[in-house]
A and B are shown apart, each in its own frame.
Chain A
Amino acid sequence: MKHPIPLRPENMHELVAERVHDMQLRGNIKRAVDISLHKRADVVSDFGDWENMRKMAHAVKALVIDHLAHYLAMFESRAVAAGAIVHFASDAEEARTIVRGLIQDCNGRLVVKSKSMTTEEIELTHALEEAGITCIETDLGEYIVQLAGEIPSHITAPALHKNRREIGLLFSEKLSVPYTDDPKELSNIAREKLRAAFMEADVGISGVNFAIAESGTICIVENEGNARMSSTLPRMHIAVMGMEKLLPDFESLALFLEMLGRSATGQRLTAYTSLLTGARKPEENDGPESLHIVILDNGRSKMLRDPNLREALFCIRCGACMNVCPVYRSIGGHAYGSVYPGPIGSVISPIFHGEARAKAMPYASSLCGACSEICPVGIPLHHQLLSWRHTLVSHGHSRLSERLLMRMFLFMSKRTWRYDLAGAIARALAPLLSESGVPRVPVWSRTRDFPRIPKKSFKQLWKERENEHA
């Protein structure tokens, strides 16, 4: 299925309209996120004092983010000492240039990529393909999304919006294989195609889940083994990470590994946890000849300086806020038009895409707070969305009609008599605007009934009651 509207945050309202009535899509999403949520609930309840762990995780991240320059310098020096080459990129363009240059310098033609939202953020694949470098996504979900010419609709489950029949059709069309919707067979088809790519690839590109400052180690978690193969089989490994991914030491890593698997997929631990410290050493048998770590800013230092956004840098990209978000459940990730959808996406996307382009995102929330409640590192997501709205309005990103309505509301509410008068007018006009007693209200009444307007206000009833009792 081709969606004619480009997936960009400035198209959010159109993208929503295109999807919100798609019951197949809504069903796929709800089924998938409910499985994650149920599994999560099971493994969180057996964990002991989850709330205390959340506080600890929050405190560790606060320590790192408060002293980010210190931990970055420590990480860099220890990673270099272990044989890695560290690059800093201030924005997406610089990161793309660095990665492209590294691949071209070693005459790389074929790249295997393991799942990485940071490389999605900088639209790396597109830039490499333009330079004539072939990129193959090796995470099954990413592979599906790449075949479909889409972007991930969820940060940990990229193809969550598709059911197995849709994937079966996609495979038979794009890979010229007989149709099957058996998940095992579909995985085997992908595995066969990918195995060849791993063996031939010149460069492996991955993300980073955690970077350990004390040792210069990068940690990658996954369930398919594709990240381990991408990072060890090709002769060069390039790892791209946001600069907030740091942890002080292995002790804190132990805590975060427990929390990430549980929050993301309801696993006590993901199937593979790779700890990579430098490139292959002379005495070692496997691993890449060179390891490049690209540390990306791309607006993160702006978040660091903003007290309302700072805690968004605590995010470990587990995706639990998306799973639990009733808005996400109803529209899916693509409707946001940003590679980072859902509550955390709506907080950080205006930084990556600019306020003007992503201004619809912070409003795509009922501020119910389910996201903040589930977040393993205690990011106050719904409060951040609220403060974004304040920022957007004060920066002039609001509609004139809305500003006028708010002005009118303020005028009406500032004096008691005006408020009472407005109520009286509404009660007098209600019968004229009603159909069999139910008022017709613009926008609202399209999908819902409006309550009948009572003949008397609460204040009037209260007064009558007092008079009766007097």
Chain B
Amino acid sequence: MKLAMRFLDIFHEDGSEYIIAPTGSCVAMVTTFYGMMSDMPTAYQEKLVDVQGRVREFTSFLVDVLHIDDVGAEFDARVTVHDSCHALRELGIKHQPRVLLNKVRGTTLVENDAAEQCCGFGGTFAVKYADISTAMTEEKIDAIIRCGADVVTGVDSSCLMQLHGALRRKTSVVRSMHIADILAAGAS
């Protein structure tokens, strides 16, 4: 909670219109989980409301706020999306990354049948229950490999780190990339 208060101190009335994070779970931390901290001093409630109103996940900012779907990127690959849990269930982010990827030249979007299933990361869970965490990832990457994608992408770097780690260990050729890297590819 001390770090939450520090975050609010830094970003409250910082002169910006929006606060953008390339990670769904970081945004959900602020919009959902800060609100669950019952011992947060009341003086911070106003700061919390201000910051919550301005914080956005990266793809949601592009699609929902700026109404951009084509960023002019070019990326030659079959790409599948992992719906990160907190982006999907706390923030309702599902179509935004797909809208953007559909407009990337050279990219073919393929769906895998476990897109909405957790990657197995879960923060400290990945270490506390490392075996369960990896078992969950195995089910996930089986679906990713099965769908024939070259690249798995998403809006959360921690999920992608988990998927990357398991894919490498399996010596799979499927790469994991953050969506920002795809959207930046080939852009002039």
Chain A interface residues toward B at CB < 8 A: 16-17, 20-21, 26, 30, 326-327, 329-331, 363-370, 372-373, 383, 386-387, 410, 413-414, 438, 443-444, 446-451
Contact = CB atoms under 8 A, between A and B. Distances in A.
Interface stretch (B12-20, B52-60, B84-92): B84-92
Contact of B85 (A331, A368, A386, A444): A368
A34 to B, nearest CB: 11
Nearest to B165: A448
B90 A20 contact: no
B161 interface: yes
Contact of A330 (B122, B123, B132, B164): B132
Given A17-B131, A387-B36, A414-B2, A366 B120 contact: yes
Interface stretch (B95-103, B104-112, B135-143): B135-143
Contact of B131 (A21, A372, A386, A450): A21
Given A16-B129, A370-B118, A414-B6, A447 B85 contact: no
The majority secondary structure among interface residues of chain A is helix
A364 B129 contact: yes
A16 B128 CA distance: 12
Interface of B: 2-3, 6, 33, 36, 85-86, 89-90, 116-118, 120-137, 139, 161-162, 164-166, 168-169
A17 B136 CA distance: 14
Contacts of A17: 131
15 contacts: A326-B117, A326-B136, A327-B129, A331-B135, A370-B89, A370-B118, A372-B89, A387-B36, A410-B3, A414-B6, A443-B130, A444-B126, A448-B162, A448-B168, A451-B161
Contacts of A369: 85-86, 89-90
Those 3 A-B pairs whose CB atoms lie nearest each other, nearest first: A366-B122, A448-B165, A368-B118
B129 A444 contact: no
A324 to B, nearest CB: 9
Contacts of B120: 326, 366
A327 B90 contact: no
Nearest to A415: B6
Given A364-B129, A366-B122, A451 B165 contact: yes
Contacts, number: 106
A395 B6 CA distance: 25
B167 to A, nearest CB: 8
Contacts of B139: 30, 326, 329-330
Given A368-B89, A386-B36, A448-B165, A330 B128 contact: no
A233 B116 CA distance: 48
Given A366-B118, A369-B85, A330 B135 contact: yes
- Most B Cβ at <10 Å: residue of A330, A410, A451: A330
B3 A413 contact: yes
A340 B124 CA distance: 24
Contact of A366 (B2, B36, B133, B165): B133
B85 A366 contact: yes
Contacts of A365: 122, 125
A451 B162 CA distance: 9
A449 B85 contact: no
B147 to A, nearest CB: 18
A414 B3 contact: yes
B165 A20 contact: no
Given A444-B127, A444-B130, A451-B161, A327 B168 contact: no
Given A366-B125, A367-B125, A451-B161, 13 more contacts: A326-B120, A326-B139, A327-B132, A331-B135, A364-B132, A366-B122, A368-B85, A368-B117, A368-B118, A413-B3, A413-B6, A448-B162, A448-B168
Contacts of A326: 117-118, 120, 136, 139
Contact of A447 (B89, B122, B134): B134
Contact of B128 (A331, A363, A451): A363
B129 A373 contact: no
Contacts of B126: 366, 444
Nearest to B168: A449
Contact of B136 (A21, A330, A383, A450): A330
B168 A443 contact: no
B134 A448 contact: yes
B165 A449 contact: yes
Contacts of B116: 370
Contacts of B123: 366-367
